[in-house]
Amino acid sequence: MSVVLDVTVRENTGTGNAREARRNGLVPGVIYGGDEAPVAVTAKHNEVLKAINSGQFISSMIELTTDGKTQKVLTKDIQFHPVTDMPVHVDFYRVTAKSIIEVEVSVTFVGEEESPGIKRGGALNVVRYSIEVKCPAGDIPDNIEVDVSAMDIGDAIHISGVALPKGVKPTITDRDFTIATVVSSRTSKTSEEGEEGEGEEGEAAAEGEAAAPTEG
């Protein structure tokens, strides 16, 4: 676990209290879930920014410390100021390592250099840059690899063709949704048309030579 954030319980809640917290360099938040009552908290603004910049704060299980006690949570939502883009509120959800949660995981494509379709000038058309999955909170994958090395122009890869990590399942189960396709690009079309044109010209030339009268 890479992110540990120190929080303080807020005795008073409400809009006015939250504004005061922000003026004092704090980010208000709430911890909920786990069959326990919601608890209002604050964290230091610079520590929240550091956690966000770590890349492990969102969609990852982190640890909150309060008066020496620790609890595992998932960062469910961060609200940002519309002008400054600074964090103004954070929602935390209580979890254990075995809690099954729903989370979006980014997709990483591998094998593009071996793809027959891309080699012929086709382009990878990404339909989904992330996949929503169910998995244990303690085993959230960093990313999901999608192998496109065997794809030709016109091919599509669906979720059924993706090797998901152990214990990870897609939240969408009623259809075999598409992750990516390989489509014809202008370069590949021009190349194919050029080859066809050369073939037609060659055939026409051959027919012309065959039809030309011989001098006697």
Residue 216: predicted pLDDT: 44
Whole-angstrom distance, CA of residue 29 vs CA of residue 26: 10
Instruction: Give the domain CATH number at 85.
Output: 2.40.240.10
Please identify, among 95, 128, 154, the residue that sits at the C-terminal boundary of a domain. Answer: 95
Sites in the chain below the pLDDT cut of 70: 1-2, 186-216
Is 179 inside a domain boundary? Answer: yes
Residue 2: predicted pLDDT: 67
Instruction: Give the domain CATH number at 109.
Output: 2.170.120.20
Give residue 71's domain range: 4-95
Residue 212: predicted pLDDT: 47
pLDDT tens, 201-210?
444 444 444 4
Residues 60 and 121 in one domain: no
Residue 18: predicted pLDDT: 82
Residue 113: predicted pLDDT: 95
